Structure 1
Amino acid sequence: MPFLKLQDRDRQLYYTLNAPPTTTSSSDSITNIVLIHGLGSSSSYYAPVIPKLGGSLDTIIDDIGAALSALNISPSRTVIVGHSMGGIVAPEAALRYKFAGTVLLGPVYPNETLTKVLQDRIAKVQQNGMDGLADVIPIVGTASSSTPLQRAFIRTLLLAQTTEGYIANCKAIASALVPDYASISTPLLLVNGAEDFVCPIELSQKVFDSWGSKDKKLQILDKTGHWYCIESPEQVGDAIVKFVGGIKTA
């Protein structure tokens, strides 16, 4: 397992680095994509999409910066991708590190209703552990057309979480503020599932409308719930590839 000791940070960071075979690229092309998974997930969430790509929240954002530095990755030649909770982290990271572009997959939009839902979820996890959520979320969080295998994969991701870590991330989301989307001047691709009731389209529309750059696209995926890369890996992968290919760095 690759663990990265972050400079000036009191933790090790587990990461997955997928590097395609060495190819020649122009100096103005995007060469890296940072993928941030959502609550109750892991790096395995993005596994179905990786082949297509070739190869408190402040703490998470600090870790991103430290990881980029340790791996010698330039944010200006990197697109950051955030799913769900990662959809809050990615815009904040974009503001701080000036990524070349941002992809949001069903991004969480901080609001009072969400806070209450998460507080209730924390109480349930404290009382019963992850088992109860692992039986419910794969059903309510996916589209009606999702397969038993897809739901089983999601269940496995959830059961791999520690209760302490899951609760800590719930608290981070519950206390998060709405990012300053208007101050982000780089391109955006926002992908939303037509059946995503966790992060519904009307809330994603708020994110999209507030985004500071005019270079932005909102793409709706049919027959897709909240677990995008598991339910619709081909469509998500194609959308990211097309978006990245259209960005020219300074």
Structure 2
Amino acid sequence: MPFLQLESKRIHYTDLKPSSGNAPRETFIFHHGLGSSQNYYHAVALELQSHDFRCILFDTTGAGRSPYTYVEQSIETLSGDVIGILDALEVDKAVVVGHSMGGIVAANLAAERSDRVVATILIGPVYPSPAAGPVFAQRIQTVESSGMEAMANAIPSAATGAKASPVARAMIRELLLAQDPAGYISNCRIIVNAKRPNYEGIKVPVLILAGGEDKSAPLEGCRRMFGEMGATEEKRLEVLEGIGHWHCLEDWEDVARRILAFYHDIQ
């Protein structure tokens, strides 16, 4: 398995280059959310790859196959990891895609590192709020006492929409069961301590994909951040009806179609 060493972090990644052998039209880099891994995006990335895009997927530190370092992280350090991966793979600029917690990272990069960000796609992005504290404090307590089993038993049904298939829910369950509990707890703390990105400072094109039945990153929060992104002239908010918080597993084809349409329109 390919790994990158970013200082003390060992990051597992996948680099999908155009299957045609052509030079990439653009590079996408994908940041997953809490309790997930790069495999959340795999079907979407394969579709983009078939359209001559290069897709870089990775497991954030403490998730998937990237071991937890027992060093506390933040939205800023996770943003630094994205830049570190681009540097290591010699990518000058990329479209940054972020889901859930990764949506905070992607928004932060769009605001602070427009020199490296072509555009950003936020999928069910979390809007940082003090209200997250009690919710994630309870999750931390549950995982500390019972491991990931309780999360895996509850989230696949509670956090998906009407269109989610049993196979999609099974995949979500597997992603959760595969988490290092200590890494999951650390990522919970990242969300609790996350600062609001400088949405007003975003000047690159933005696509927000919101689940119509998303309870984890409700449509209200997506609309709020969309309204605060006043600096970019190319922004859109699209709602996926019948979809909860695991968009790329609940309806990967629609997500891929919307990403391709957005990219086509901003060119």
Give the deviation of 1:171 after TM superposition. Answer: 0.2
Coordinate RMSD, CA, aligned = 1.3
Contact 1:189 1:217 in 2 (8 A): yes
With normalisation by structure 2, the TM-score equals: 0.87
Q: Which amino acid aligns with 1:116?
A: P
Identity across matched positions, percent: 39
Answering whether residue 127 of structure 2 is matched by residue 128 of structure 1, we say: no
Q: Which runs of 5+ in 1 are unaligned?
A: none
Q: Which residue of 1 aligns with 2:105?
A: 89
Distance in 1, matches of 2:219 and 2:238, equals 10
Contact 2:208 2:237 in 1 (8 A): yes
Distance in 2, matches of 1:237 and 1:118, equals 30
Q: Which amino acid aligns with 1:159?
A: L
Distance in 2, matches of 1:226 and 1:134, equals 15
With normalisation by structure 1, the TM-score equals: 0.92
Q: Which residue of 1 aligns with 2:254?
A: 235
Aligned residue among 29, 33, 55 for 1:34 = 29
1:42-121 to 2 correspondence within 5 Å?
Answer: 42-54=37-49, 56-75=74-93, 78-98=94-114, 99-121=117-139
Q: Which residue of 2 aligns with 1:12?
A: 10
Q: Which runs of 5+ in 2 are unaligned?
A: 51-73
Q: Which runs of 4+ in 1 moved over 3 A?
A: none
Give the deviation of 1:97 after TM superposition. Answer: 2.5
Aligned residue among 213, 218, 223 for 2:242 = 223
For structure 1, which segment, 211-220 or 164-173, has the greater mean C-alpha deviation from structure 2 after superposition? Answer: 211-220
Distance in 1, matches of 2:210 and 2:204, equals 19
Contact 1:52 1:241 in 2 (8 A): no
Give the deviation of 1:163 after TM superposition. Answer: 0.6
Number of aligned positions between the proteins? 240
Give the deviation of 1:138 after TM superposition. Answer: 0.2
